[in-house]
Every structure is written in structure tokens, then in C-alpha cells.
Amino acid sequence: MPPVLKSLLMIELFKGHIRLSIEEPYEGYCGTRFDWTGKIIQLWWKNIPICTSEFGDRKDAMQGLGFFNEFGIDKAIGYDKCRVGNCFPKIGVGMLQKESNDPYDFFHQYKCVPFEFVTKNIESGVSITTTNLLQPHSFVLEKKIHVTSNGFTIDYELKNLGETDIVTTEYVHNFLSPGQRKLSDSLKLTLGATINKDQFESGINPNSCVSMSNNQFSWSHVPKSDFFFENIAETLTDSGSWMLTDRQLHLSITERVNFKPHKINLWGRAHVVSPELFKNINLKPGETERWQRVFEIQEIESAID
């Protein structure tokens, strides 16, 4: 079977026990929140689905799923200085129309003129590029996704072609649900950093479903509603990671990044969990930033404490 299969709607990457499904930029998800370059909607390991969607199904094309990433969740570049009725850029999406002087709201569906996207097959993967030539916030974003024998990698390159600084963040909203089952005590999340207990206690923990110890989270029972913790740990090294272990399916999935996370968040609900490693971006005109995310799946023989 070839490593890359491409249809009008979908790009499929294969290697070993790994299968990765990626939507073409103009297909499927059409919201103004998540990046359209490389919309990874599902990862399979030995035909076991690893991801789900925001609400557990996909009756519409506006909800997040898989490994969707986002630029500028807190503030889109140029929004504050943009006049009502004019447009501001959302990296990886398009030019969005500012409708009022209210703060930027990533949940809101803005009127949008999408950027142009160019998709190319590369060895063991796909490259998707989008460019904004409108000043003062001109840029080009290229994302390369490679399939590996036990997962995949995402390589980013963001060039500031504009007249002003690009100050923003990027993260991957991991809609994880190994086997597409509800959260239970068979799951454990381990961070590559020590949990900030004060931040943990100030989060949203419905029916006390989430427990923590040192650098680990676990679930004693199914959450009744959304749980959320922001800035849960500080990474002291120049890299970051998390690992979700499923003792029932005997596998673990890990994300590693080659940068010091700006912050680490944790969100989820009954059927999904999302650890999030944030990349801080501050690019002066003419500068380029490159970073990488590595996702790996491994089999485990027994429960890991």
C-alpha cells in the first residue's frame, strides 16, 4: 500500500500499523477557529481509532476533532487595531471581519474570506502552505506532516513578510479518545513537568472526576460536564511532553515538542481529553520561526503507575 493516498476530500497516510486521515483545506471543517492547513481528523493504531470529535459525532462541519491546531486563541493578530467592518487575519484560516468592538472570541464564527492553500505530496507525507499578502500582517505558513512507523510528526515554518511584529500562540487541541470510549480509571495522563497544584485546585473539576499526583492526572469516574485547567505546569527545560496511557487497550500516545511550552492546559468532557502544549510566537518583520511536534503510539504490556 502506498504511503500517501489522495482523493478530492481526504489525504490518507499509511506506515506500519499507523493510518492518518487529513482533510483538504477547503473540505470538511470550515470554521474560523482552527487552522485549515493539515486538518488531521483521525489517527488509527492497528485499526483502533485514537481520536474523536468535540461532541462525539460529526453532524456538522463546525466542530473540532482529531489533532486540530489553532493560532491566536486568546487574541488574533491585528484584531485590536482593526476597525469594525474591516478584516483581520487568522493564521491558517483567512481574513475575518470584525463585527464589533467586543474582545476577540475564538468561539464566534466570523465572516471569512479564506486564504489560498497549496497542497503537495512529499516523501511519507504532505505539505500544505498558505500565504497572506495583505499588509501590515503578511506571512506565509507551511506545515509538513510525515507519517512514521509509530505515529506522525508536524513541522511548522512561519515567515513574517509583513510590516509589523507577529505576536501570537499556537497549540494542538488533541481530541483524544482511544477506542472512542468514555473516560475511566483505565486512563492516566503523565506530564513532562510537575503539576502546579494551586492552578489545579483553581480549575473546573465537575463531580471531582479528576485526580492528580506529582505529574499525573487520572479519572475516577466519567465527568458530568467539561473539566478545564489552565497553566497546569511549568516546564523547566527547552522541550515539553505528555503521555496518555490506556491500560485497557495496552497502549500509550505521547506528544513531544522541541520548544519550551508557553503554558500547558488540560480540557475534556465525558468522551474526550485534550492536553495542550502552547508555543509562544514573537516574530519581527523578516524573521522566520520553525518548530516541531512529534506524536507516537507504543504498546504497553501491563498497567503503568
Determine which of 51-55, 235-239, 252-256, 259-263 has the lowest per-residue pLDDT on average: 235-239
Instruction: Report DSSP state, residue 19.
Output: E
Selection from 178, 151, 189, 182 nearest residue 266 by Cα: 189
Average pLDDT over residues 198-225: 87
223 burial type by CB count under 10 A (0-12 exposed, 13-18 middle, 19+ buried): buried
In the chain, the domains with their CATH numbers are 4-299 (2.70.98.10)
pLDDT at 303: 47
Look at residue 2 and tell me whether its pLDDT is greater than 50.
Answer: no
Pairing of strands 18-23, 4-6: unpaired
The rounded Cα 73 to chain-centroid distance in angstroms is 11
Q: What are phi and psi of 83, to 5 degrees?
A: -80, 150
Q: Average pLDDT in the 54-83 region?
A: 90
Q: Single out the residue of 19, 22, 250, 38 nearest to residue 148, CA to CA.
A: 19
Backbone angles phi, psi at 285, to 5 degrees: -50, 130
Is the pLDDT reported for residue 304 higher than 90?
A: no
63 against 296, higher pLDDT: 296
Entry field: residues in the chain: 305
Average pLDDT score, the chain: 92
Across the range 171-196, mean pLDDT stands at 94
Average pLDDT over residues 224-229: 94
- CB atoms closer than 10 angstroms to residue 157: 15
100-143: pLDDT as tens digits: 999 999 999 999 999 999 999 999 999 999 999 999 999 999 99
Distance CA 187, CA 91 (A): 34
Averaged pLDDT for residues 218-228: 93
pLDDT surpasses 80 at 197: no
Question: Phi/psi of residue 180, each to 5°?
Answer: 50, 50
Q: What is the pLDDT of residue 5?
A: 53
Residues 227, 217 contacting (CB under 8 angstroms):
no
Residue type, 111: K
| Choice among 55-69, 221-235, 241-255, 261-275 with the minimum mean pLDDT | 55-69
Of 261, 209, 270, the C-alpha closest to 233 is 261
Write the DSSP string, 202-249: TSB-GGG-EEEETTEEEESS--SS-EEESS-B---SS-EEEEEEETTT
Quick one: cell of 225? Answer: 460536564
